[in-house]
């Protein structure tokens, strides 16, 4: 039966869902050229400083000897860059601001030998799409110059004759006038101008034969003003100040291995006396100012074990490589380059910086400060480090696709994978320590001695090299600290493997190796109050006989203390000269060596250390004597668990004291009326929390970075359970894949 035209058609019940007619795929359209060009301009010209960098590099390519920059409102209202270069030919003005017009190359193969700063022909074109550009130029031999304005890559009018001085002046007005979102994000004028000043300062200290100036529009005085100089150190003194220049050291590295690393680097790096809160790294590769985060991190690791806490270095480096070893076409703004054998080059430079810093430590000066303030600064740095690291991004990194079971989950610059991200760490208060009589920070520097040339020392160092475990060395050099598993073992990650590392054994061996490496070249820890050897040895002997109450034992201990004190006084000159252990004529311990910068040993272990020096040393044989003293120092400086129990977990019971409550007059009535309450000794607990927090900070920020730099793990550490692999992501992946 067919439905009548007037019949009402009742739709069927479809469960409340309406049928959606199938949609056609969206049509692909060709974008208009103006849209394409504006999108591209947003990538090349990211902010005013990007435009100035491109214009200054064009001036350098034009063989200028003077570059002047004027800025208004952080560069949004006005950017004016003037130079005295060779200028622009009249015939080239019509296509000057078209995309991909350049005088730097003609075919792609030219990129392999490019030496100019610019080469793409995009910068000026991009500026015309996001701002109003005016060019005034004159070439050699012309009677007058020409001025022309550009909009969207083309001339707005024919070039007009005008008066002009030698070179080119390019003016960019109303930058990002047609990109409202970008302009709103750049309203911090002072921040943008600071970036511009920093940019010109970096150019000024590299191109010392060119004068640079940078000033705000209408200002009488320039914020950057450098004149041609024959010395780079003078240029740094002019731009960054005398305080920076006087703390710089020259460094050079040269490699001529064509197959591995062929480069030359010369630069200036800050010494140990330089202090700053922010790292300054000026890097030029083949005369091009670039960033290299891998090289920057490698150098920061070296300085971490040398500079005072919370201080950052100043670094200037110029690296020259064969042009065919550098790929300059890897970033829209040419901010980064790709190097052939980059890892090898970075390793060579890192080693040179480390060697230079260690050889320059004899000029280091120190200021005395209280240990409590140092401890507080450690906790602040710990907090700041976590916050800053978590904000650091990895957007600039290029990563290849990796199988999921081989992905590395943590990054050394990002603590997101560490235990601290999951455990709330509240830094404890820092109470007044009971060890003030023997704790002090470094305040003197000894002059180096030639004793390090002793054959015995060289033999011991050679034994360390010969006994080094190659596989464990690679793991230590590239591991990432995760956190403490317990009081002794730390969790470390290397590649896709997780390890348990005994920090006591590792630090003991590291300190032993450092003593031999620094033999007769130590800094000194000056004890605020010299400690009598006799009392220290007596205290150590009493601790060994804590359960003995015999008077005969006391008499024996006195004789041992007297004999040991006399022995150490006889050996005082040798201990002072080779190990910086100073014992005065009265038999008082006055100074101890600095084995690892930024680290002060647990002074509670001084009595045990002095007793070890007196009884465990073979004073007859030179090599055995040096080895046993170095081992004793290594054991003393090792990061043992503090004597106070760890207040987290079961250790909290140690800090509870029993307190009785009830009426004392009724104590004879019966035991039921008396109650016992646990009360925590908050003062002792607070001190313990501080000590344990300091130890973990030292493990993460001092021990692990120092191991990466200096440690040569012996085979014994891989065999005695000091370094254990507990998990492998590949194996775990297979297990869960079967579940």
Q: Which of 449, 410, 441, 473 is nearest to 577 (CA)?
A: 449
Predicted pLDDT at 429: 42
Integer Cα distance of 51 and 374 in angstroms: 44
Cα end-to-end distance, the chain, whole Å: 60
Phi, psi of 675, rounded to the nearest 5 degrees = -120, 150
Integer Cα distance of 515 and 690 in angstroms: 28
Do 371 and 440 touch, CB atoms closer than 8 A? yes
Integer Cα distance of 290 and 206 in angstroms: 12
Do 688 and 644 touch, CB atoms closer than 8 A? yes
Helix (H) or strand (E) holding 299: helix 293-304
Integer Cα distance of 271 and 302 in angstroms: 12
Q: Which residues contact 356 (CB under 8 A, 6 or more apart)?
A: 249, 251, 269
Phi, psi of 72, rounded to the nearest 5 degrees = -130, 135
Do 479 and 705 touch, CB atoms closer than 8 A? no
Integer Cα distance of 372 and 430 in angstroms: 7
Dihedral (CA of 507, 513, 517, 521) sign: positive
Predicted pLDDT at 126: 86
Integer Cα distance of 600 and 590 in angstroms: 15
Predicted pLDDT at 259: 67
Query: Taking the CB of residue 263, how many other CB atoms lie within 10 A of it?
Result: 24
The DSSP code sequence of 685-703 is: HHHHHHHHHHHHHHIIIII
Could you give the dihedral angle defined by the CA atoms of residues 402, 397, 356 and 367, in that order, rounded to the nearest 10 degrees?
Answer: -110
Do 258 and 264 touch, CB atoms closer than 8 A? no
Tokens 């904000």 belong to residue: 391
Integer Cα distance of 552 and 620 in angstroms: 31
Report the chain's C-alpha Rg in angstroms.
Answer: 34
Helix (H) or strand (E) holding 40: helix 33-44
Do 269 and 245 touch, CB atoms closer than 8 A? no
Q: Which of 725, 737, 736 is nearest to 496 (CA)?
A: 725
- Regarding the domain delimited by 33-224, which CATH topology (the fold level of the hierarchy) does it fall under? Heat Shock Protein 90 (3.30.565)
From 3.40.50.2300, 3.30.230.10, 3.30.70.920, 3.40.50.300, which CATH number describes the 241-361 domain? 3.30.230.10
Specify the domain boundaries for CATH 3.30.565.10 within the chain: 33-224
Query: Taking the CB of residue 44, how many other CB atoms lie within 10 A of it?
Result: 21
How would you label 319-336 residue by residue, b for 16+ Cβ within 10 Å and e otherwise?
bbbeeebbebeeebebeb
Predicted pLDDT at 42: 65
Predicted pLDDT at 441: 32
β 497-502/489-494 pair status: antiparallel
Could you give the dihedral angle defined by the CA atoms of residues 433, 437, 442 and 445, in that order, rounded to the nearest 10 degrees?
Answer: -170
- In the DSSP assignment, the letter for residue 307 is S
Alpha helix stretches (DSSP H) within 571-605 = 572-579
Q: Which of 304, 234, 294 is nearest to 268 (CA)?
A: 234
Specify the domain boundaries for CATH 3.30.230.10 within the chain: 241-361
Maximal C-alpha separation, the chain:
126
Predicted pLDDT at 256: 82
Q: What angle do CA 522, 524, 528 make, to 5 degrees?
A: 170
User: Which tokens belong to 283?
Assistant: 């890097």
β 160-162/145-151 pair status: antiparallel
Integer Cα distance of 39 and 126 in angstroms: 9
β 280-285/314-320 pair status: parallel
Q: Which residues contact 716 (CB under 8 A, 6 or more apart)?
A: 722
Q: Which residues contact 359 (CB under 8 A, 6 or more apart)?
A: none
Chain centroid to Cα 424, Å, comes to 24
Mean pLDDT by 10 residues, the chain (739 residues): 49 55 77 70 79 90 92 92 92 85 62 60 84 92 91 89 90 88 80 91 92 91 85 90 90 81 88 84 89 87 70 89 79 74 87 83 47 39 40 43 58 50 45 35 34 76 90 88 89 88 92 89 84 89 64 76 89 89 90 85 88 87 90 91 82 66 46 52 81 86 88 89 83 59
């Amino acid at each position: 039966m067919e439905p009548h035209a007037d019949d009402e058609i009742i739709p069927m019940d479809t469960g409340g869902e309406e049928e959606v007619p199938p949609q056609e795929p969206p049509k692909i359209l060709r974008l208009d050229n103006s849209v394409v060009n504006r999108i591209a301009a947003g990538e090349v010209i990211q902010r005013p400083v990007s435009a100035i960098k491109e214009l200054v590099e064009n001036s350098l390519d034009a063989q200028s000897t003077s570059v002047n920059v004027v800025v208004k409102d952080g560069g949004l209202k006005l950017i004016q860059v003037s130079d005295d270069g060779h200028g622009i030919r009249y015939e080239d003005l019509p296509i000057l601001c078209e995309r991909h017009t350049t005088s730097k190359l003609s075919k792609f193969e030219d990129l392999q030998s490019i030496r100019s700063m610019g080469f793409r022909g995009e910068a000026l074109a991009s500026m015309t799409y996001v701002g109003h550009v005016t060019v005034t130029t004159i070439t050699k031999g012309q009677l007058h110059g020409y001025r022309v304005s550009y909009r969207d890559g083309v001339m707005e009018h024919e070039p007009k004759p005008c008066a002009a001085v030698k070179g080119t002046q390019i003016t960019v007005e109303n930058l990002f006038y047609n990109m409202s979102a970008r302009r709103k994000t750049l309203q911090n004028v002072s921040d943008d101008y600071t970036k511009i000043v920093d940019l010109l300062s970096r150019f000024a200290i590299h191109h010392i034969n060119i004068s640079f100036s940078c000033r705000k529009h209408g200002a009488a005085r320039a914020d950057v003003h450098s004149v041609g100089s024959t010395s780079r150190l003078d240029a740094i003194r002019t731009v960054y100040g005398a305080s920076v220049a006087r703390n710089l050291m020259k460094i050079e590295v040269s490699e001529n291995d064509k197959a591995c690393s062929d480069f030359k680097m010369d630069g200036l790096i800050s010494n140990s006396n330089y202090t700053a809160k922010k790292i300054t790294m000026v890097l030029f590769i083949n005369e091009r100012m670039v960033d290299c985060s891998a090289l920057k991190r490698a150098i920061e690791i070296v300085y971490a074990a040398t500079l005072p806490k919370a201080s950052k270095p100043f670094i200037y480096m110029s690296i020259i490589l064969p042009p065919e070893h550098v790929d300059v076409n890897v970033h829209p703004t040419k901010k980064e380059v790709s190097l052939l054998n980059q890892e090898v080059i970075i390793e060579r430079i890192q080693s040179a910086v480390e060697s230079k810093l260690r050889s320059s430590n004899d000029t280091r000066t120190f200021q005395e400060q209280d240990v409590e303030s140092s401890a507080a600064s450690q906790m602040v740095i710990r907090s700041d480090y976590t916050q800053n690291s978590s904000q650091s991004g990895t957007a600039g990194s290029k990563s290849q696709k990796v199988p999921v079971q081989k992905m590395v989950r943590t990054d050394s610059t990002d603590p997101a994978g560490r235990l601290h991200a999951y455990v709330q760490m509240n830094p404890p208060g820092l109470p007044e320590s009971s060890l003030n009589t023997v704790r002090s920070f470094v305040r003197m520097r000894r002059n180096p001695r030639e004793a390090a040339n002793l054959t015995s020392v060289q033999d011991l160092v050679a034994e360390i090299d010969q006994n080094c475990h190659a596989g464990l060395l690679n793991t230590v050099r590239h591991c990432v600290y995760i956190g403490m598993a317990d009081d002794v073992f730390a969790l470390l990650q290397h590649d896709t493997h997780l390890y348990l590392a005994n920090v006591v054994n590792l630090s003991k061996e590291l300190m032993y190796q450092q003593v031999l490496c620094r033999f007769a070249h130590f800094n000194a820890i000056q004890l605020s109050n010299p400690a009598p050897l006799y009392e220290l040895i007596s205290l150590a002997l009493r601790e060994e006989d804590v359960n003995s109450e015999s008077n005969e034992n006391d008499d024996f201990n006195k004789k041992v203390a007297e004999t040991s004190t006399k022995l150490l006084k006889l050996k005082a000159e040798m201990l002072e000269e080779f190990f910086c252990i100073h014992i005065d004529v009265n038999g008082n311990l006055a100074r101890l060596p600095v084995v690892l910068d930024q680290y002060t040993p647990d002074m509670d272990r001084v009595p045990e250390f002095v007793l070890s020096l007196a009884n465990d040393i073979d004073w007859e044989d030179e090599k055995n004597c040096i080895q046993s003293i170095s081992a004793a120092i290594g054991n003393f400086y090792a990061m043992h668990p503090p004597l106070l129990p760890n207040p987290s977990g079961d250790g909290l019971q140690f800090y509870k004291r029993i307190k009785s409550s009830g009426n004392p007059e009724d104590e004879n009535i019966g035991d039921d009326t008396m109650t016992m309450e646990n009360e925590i000794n908050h003062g002792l607990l607070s001190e313990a929390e501080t000590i344990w927090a300091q130890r973990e900070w030292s493990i993460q920020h001092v021990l692990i970075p120092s191991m990466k730099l200096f440690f040569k793990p012996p085979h014994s550490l891989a065999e005695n359970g000091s370094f254990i692999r507990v998990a492998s992501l590949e194996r775990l992946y297979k297990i869960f894949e079967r579940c």
